[in-house]
Structure 1
Amino acid sequence: MPSPPVHSSSPAQPGSTGHPSPAHPSSAAQPGPASRPVPPGSTPVTGPPGAAGGPPRRRRRWVPVLLVLVLLVGLAGAAAVLRPGPVAGWLGADPTPSPSARPPEPDPSPVLAGPDAAAPVPTPAGVRAAVEPLTGAAALGSRVNVSVADVVSGESLYARGGDDGTVPASVTKLATGVTVLKARGPGYRIATRALAGANPGEVVLVGGGDPTLAVDKSGFYPGAARLDTLAAQVKQALGGTAPTRVVVDSTLFPGPVHGPGWDADIPTGGFGASITALMTDGARQDPAGARKNFADSHGAATRYAEPDLAAGRSFARLLGLPETGVVRGTAPAAGGATEGGAPAPGTELGKVESLPMIRLVDIMITDSDNVIAEALARQVALARNQQASFAGGAAAMDEVIGELGLPADEISLADASGLSRNNRISPSLLTDLIGLAGNGTHPELTAIFGGLPVAAWSGTLGTRYESTSTAAGAGVVRAKTGTLTGVHAIAGLVTTRDGRLLTFAVLTDQAPGGDPEVTRAALDRIAGALAGCGCR
């Protein structure tokens, strides 16, 4: 399937992460679009030029173990499947299966092997010889920043502007995934609650920030929590009291609903949305249609302008109430007096919970889901006692990066999805993040690998690495991609011809106009060169 063109004249094409695979949009094998292009005539990205091929600096040394890297490849659709080890705990206990239940899922087949400490180590000179001539490709533009490091040792093997902040586009989601897994943990679930309102029969729907919440079984995200389940709980809890009105409380996410540095068409162009603490199906108006047409639309979907009110109206309908009566408000504090046998104000009438964080991160990376990314950044903020806003999420992510012992001064974020052109991340910080997630010291971080596309196999890399000049990377490059007009990025893992596992990041934010496929091919040649050489 060819990737869509990247320009601003069509409302349906993505500007980031290429094309989706034709599979279900939230299965592990297919991605979605991420960042949108900027309209012609917008201000180009500027920044200090990177030092071309300067001496690689010595970064953190890593424990020579890559635990769980392949385990998570088969996680899609995992919520109802028994799994061994820590993953079973993260996903939560399953009920006793009925005779008609599906059999346990078999262990996934290896897609990318762990590091072989005995494999020959590339030399900085060998990596430079393989990579540096390719960084001068005209399609990459005037600012190409690169980092290549060895996963086993953590040693930098090549850096060109490696520490320079560069617009990362959707590659930002790697930082989002790592920080939310660290802050919340893989097993954390986001709750949506219904509380008794101030008046008898009044129901307050309280958003907890679950972007995957569905109205019913026709939701976009398989296995998501559902409003019809919550409505049934509420009816039972109210007993003989009839529901009278729905009040929507989405105050958990304060501040602007659109991110700084977003192109003007992002809120309505199908790839972004208003970020509110309560929404259904990532704010999609037609989740079933969006799921069915995911591949053809490249993941674009019409979104509600006010997702919280739209969710409240759906909830009112499920309770048998008119949608016109839904209003915004705040939940009363618990402990009020009962009236006429109705539950006391603030009493919890029901609760549903999202998929575990390990699955939300997997979907975010696989589908390059911008709305999930922004919601997860707010979970980082809440976990670190920051305001659950764009600014609070960015500050909290920065804090967690520092907690992990990584150079927080090499990341500056305005959002968590990569839609913002104000974001800056250095290539070397990306390779550090990827290495840290895979070196065994933080097994909770390995969920970022489950959704990474595989070259010439899945996701945004499904139809890449098929030419003669890039074929060495087929099956051995696993990476997150990102694209805005003039911005192209790729970061991930690659196994060399000799079996050595490397982490790499290539970012260019001053690429010339023209066919984005040409620029992507130039990026792929760099990773392909690493795959095809011993680099010694």
Structure 2
Amino acid sequence: MTGGEQQGSSPQVNPDLDQVTVRLPVPGAPPAQPMRVGPPPPAATEAEAPPNPGKRGKKLVVLATVLVLLAALGVGGVLGGPWLAQQLGLSGDGGLGTQPPPAPLNPQAALRALPPQAPTPSAQGVAAALDPLAGNAALGELTGSVLDGTTGNVLWERGAGTARTPASTGKLVTAAAALLALDHQTRLSTTVVAGAEPGTVVLVGGGDTTLSGLPANKPTYFFPDAARLDDLVEQVKAKAGGPVNKIIIDVGRFAGPPMAPGWLNVDVAGGHIAPLVPLMLDAARRDPLTSTTPRSDKPAQAAAQELAKRLGGNPAIEVGSAPKDAKVLAKVDSPPLPRLVASFLSTSDNILAEAVARELARGTGNEPSFAGASKATLDTLSRNGLDITGVKMSDASGLSTEDRVSAKFLSSLLAAASGNDARAAKLRPMLTGLPVAGGTGTLAKRYDKGQAAGGRGWVRAKTGTLDGVNSLAGIVTTNDGRLLVFSFMATGAASDPARDALDTLASALRRCGCG
């Protein structure tokens, strides 16, 4: 989770640790085009400057040497065709003739399966790798758990059953429950319906906090294909049958207080949360492309004001309810559930996690409130064979200082996602949504130095950071090709050294043959 380092007795969010590095394409820039690599053709033609046999011999030797080196690097294929023939003096009347350029390469990324018979590390071997690092004072009081990802067998534990404040690793709890209970085609909809009076429309919040006010050709903080306010506007203008002079906001989809126990009002201006309502633009960010930016304290009203501005005519805005069986004038949908889950795990966005939890509550017959979402989450996990003893979630994002989760429980969630049963099939998006060490999400700027660098690209994990609380839970493939599941929770230590020490622990598992 993102946040600002604050002093005090309660854990608060640290702003620099769970930041997301998002590099967006320049709007309107043309896509990169395939091009041939190599020097430009010579200015003179064959007729103007006949090749010198001596110079050709020297050129053959140089080019042959270059091609051998490039072939060793795997890039020689881009240097074939006419350019090579010309440089070798084979084009023209006495050569091979001009050939058309080859079709552009179209590389495809692919995931390779892990070796089915990869050796399993022994508990003694894992202890030998982790115990010397686990005593690092930078970790404060460490609890942790390491399991074999295939069998679920315990390979290492330290206070694993002790429930601690999880910070944003608590989002794994929400992700697992939502993926287990809800249809993976679930989408969150925002609608505009006709009001009871002419010229009145009702903007109905459906819980999609990723609805964006940005133009359709501009990527959002979450996904390029997030629903757009402009789409709603176009549909309303086409179907309203006249000018709109009043907009009613319907936020009845959620219940209960808009702030969870353990949340602080200062975290709204700090950019970590907003009052939770089912209607907002860009998760209430004032700067929709920045991770930690002040958020609106009245997100539904802000969304309605933007709709009013784009409809024109200065319509009045008030809070109310949509008439029963009202005519739908406009509707837009979020991306499907797995993408929403992957996004809040990667970006650690608190508001999106809370919105998904409310949908879980509604889908399981619970009140769509903080209390109802927490009950739905734990009930779902228990029904799916997970031991929820000692687990308490006052929110869905891990921001609350009242949340309690053990390292053992976090590892059990990840092991369920890594297994081979029916649960694993539903939970796979939880693994693919985890940030990649040194590459994506909240791990983009980590794993770049020291012993931790060995886990770069191999560790995938959810981060968690509050004042005095640092956690890391995820998966890693050992040098022998075995998938391991881990969770580490450091309490009572400064964040910068603690996160480096946590990264080093996870990287030690990557280096582990540990037989």
Considering the TM-score relative to the shorter chain, is it more than 0.5? yes
After TM superposition, the structure 1 = structure 2 runs for residues 420-499 of structure 1, keeping only pairs within 5 Å, are: 420-441=400-421, 442-499=424-481
The aligned counterpart of 1:237 is 239
The aligned counterpart of 1:318 is 310
Q: Secondary structure at 2:256's aligned position in 1?
A: coil
CA distance in 2, matches of 1:316, 1:362: 32
Shift of residue 391, structure 1, vs aligned partner: 1.1
The residue identity in structure 2 corresponding to 1:426 is S
The aligned counterpart of 1:63 is none
Q: Is the 8 A contact 2:255 2:368 kept in 1?
A: yes
After TM superposition, the structure 1 = structure 2 runs for residues 213-232 of structure 1, keeping only pairs within 5 Å, are: 213-217=211-215, 220-221=221-222, 222-232=224-234
Q: Is the 8 A contact 1:211 1:280 kept in 2?
A: yes
The aligned counterpart of 2:125 is 126
The aligned counterpart of 1:45 is none
- Cα distance change, pair 4–369 in 1 and its aligned pair in 2 (3 A): closer
After TM superposition, the structure 1 = structure 2 runs for residues 241-260 of structure 1, keeping only pairs within 5 Å, are: 241-260=242-261
1:3-49 deviations in whole A, cap 9, x for unaligned? 9984459xx98447433224249xxxxxxxxxxxxxxxxxxxxxxxx
TM-score by length of 1: 0.75
Please state if 1:507 is matched with 2:499.
no
- Cα distance change, pair 510–256 in 1 and its aligned pair in 2 (3 A): same
The residue identity in structure 2 corresponding to 1:530 is L
CA distance in 1, matches of 2:506, 2:390: 23
Q: Is the 8 A contact 1:214 1:225 kept in 2?
A: yes
Shift of residue 269, structure 1, vs aligned partner: 0.6
1:384-405 deviations in whole A, cap 9, x for unaligned? 1111111111111111111221
- Cα distance change, pair 434–285 in 1 and its aligned pair in 2 (3 A): same
Alignment partner of 1:161 out of 154, 159, 162:
159
Q: Is the 8 A contact 1:16 1:169 kept in 2?
A: no
Q: Is the 8 A contact 1:7 1:15 kept in 2?
A: no
Q: Secondary structure at 1:378's aligned position in 2?
A: helix
Shift of residue 216, structure 1, vs aligned partner: 4.4
CA distance in 2, matches of 1:107, 1:181: 28
The residue identity in structure 2 corresponding to 1:518 is P
The residue identity in structure 2 corresponding to 1:279 is M
Shift of residue 411, structure 1, vs aligned partner: 2.1
Q: Secondary structure at 2:367's aligned position in 1?
A: coil
Shift of residue 498, structure 1, vs aligned partner: 1.8
The aligned counterpart of 2:353 is 373
Q: Secondary structure at 1:192's aligned position in 2?
A: strand
CA distance in 2, matches of 1:190, 1:452: 22
CA distance in 2, matches of 1:283, 1:409: 35
Please state if 1:182 is matched with 2:180.
yes
The aligned counterpart of 1:33 is none
Q: Secondary structure at 2:496's aligned position in 1?
A: helix
Q: Is the 8 A contact 2:151 2:419 kept in 1?
A: no
CA distance in 1, matches of 2:3, 2:330: 44
Which stretch shifts more, 393-402 or 183-192? 183-192
The aligned counterpart of 1:385 is 365
1:189-240 deviations in whole A, cap 9, x for unaligned? 111111221212211111010001123415544211122212222233333x
Shift of residue 407, structure 1, vs aligned partner: 0.8
CA distance in 2, matches of 1:404, 1:229: 39
- Cα distance change, pair 396–106 in 1 and its aligned pair in 2 (3 A): farther
Q: Secondary structure at 1:469's aligned position in 2?
A: helix
CA distance in 1, matches of 2:264, 2:135: 29
% same residue: 39
Which stretch shifts more, 228-237 or 346-355? 228-237
After TM superposition, the structure 1 = structure 2 runs for residues 81-230 of structure 1, keeping only pairs within 5 Å, are: 107-110=108-111, 114-141=113-140, 143-217=141-215, 220-221=221-222, 222-230=224-232
Shift of residue 106, structure 1, vs aligned partner: 6.5
Please state if 1:404 is matched with 2:384.
yes
1:107-146 deviations in whole A, cap 9, x for unaligned? 5344xx64434111111222222222322211111x3110
The residue identity in structure 1 corresponding to 2:506 is A
Q: Which has the higher contact order (CA 8 A, sep 6+)?
A: 1
The aligned counterpart of 2:512 is 533
CA distance in 1, matches of 2:221, 2:134: 40
TM-score by length of 2: 0.77
Which stretch shifts more, 230-239 or 251-260? 230-239
Shift of residue 158, structure 1, vs aligned partner: 1.4
Query: What value does the CA root-mean-square deviation take over the aligned residues?
Result: 2.6
1:482-528 deviations in whole A, cap 9, x for unaligned? 110100000001112222110000012222x4xx2211121122112
CA distance in 2, matches of 1:5, 1:368: 14
Q: Secondary structure at 1:203's aligned position in 2?
A: strand
The aligned counterpart of 1:358 is 338
Q: Secondary structure at 1:148's aligned position in 2?
A: strand
Q: Is the 8 A contact 2:4 2:16 kept in 1?
A: no
CA distance in 2, matches of 1:356, 1:106: 27
CA distance in 1, matches of 2:369, 2:123: 42
1:323-352 deviations in whole A, cap 9, x for unaligned? 5x1000011112xxxxxxxxxxx2222211
CA distance in 1, matches of 2:256, 2:168: 23
- Cα distance change, pair 211–265 in 1 and its aligned pair in 2 (3 A): same
- Cα distance change, pair 416–130 in 1 and its aligned pair in 2 (3 A): same
Shift of residue 470, structure 1, vs aligned partner: 2.5
Q: Secondary structure at 2:488's aligned position in 1?
A: strand
The residue identity in structure 2 corresponding to 1:275 is L
- Cα distance change, pair 207–525 in 1 and its aligned pair in 2 (3 A): same
Q: Is the 8 A contact 2:21 2:445 kept in 1?
A: no
- Cα distance change, pair 300–15 in 1 and its aligned pair in 2 (3 A): closer
CA distance in 1, matches of 2:450, 2:121: 23
Q: Secondary structure at 2:302's aligned position in 1?
A: helix
Q: Is the 8 A contact 2:180 2:380 kept in 1?
A: yes
Q: Secondary structure at 2:202's aligned position in 1?
A: strand
Alignment partner of 2:328 out of 348, 359, 365:
348
CA distance in 2, matches of 1:250, 1:136: 50
The aligned counterpart of 1:39 is none
Q: Is the 8 A contact 1:16 1:481 kept in 2?
A: no
Q: Is the 8 A contact 2:118 2:480 kept in 1?
A: yes
Count residues in correspondence.
427
CA distance in 1, matches of 2:280, 2:107: 34
The aligned counterpart of 2:397 is 417
Flag structure 1 segments of 5+ consecutive residues without an equivalent: 26-102, 335-345
Q: Secondary structure at 2:164's aligned position in 1?
A: coil
- Cα distance change, pair 444–107 in 1 and its aligned pair in 2 (3 A): farther
Which stretch shifts more, 486-495 or 173-182? 173-182
The residue identity in structure 2 corresponding to 1:230 is L
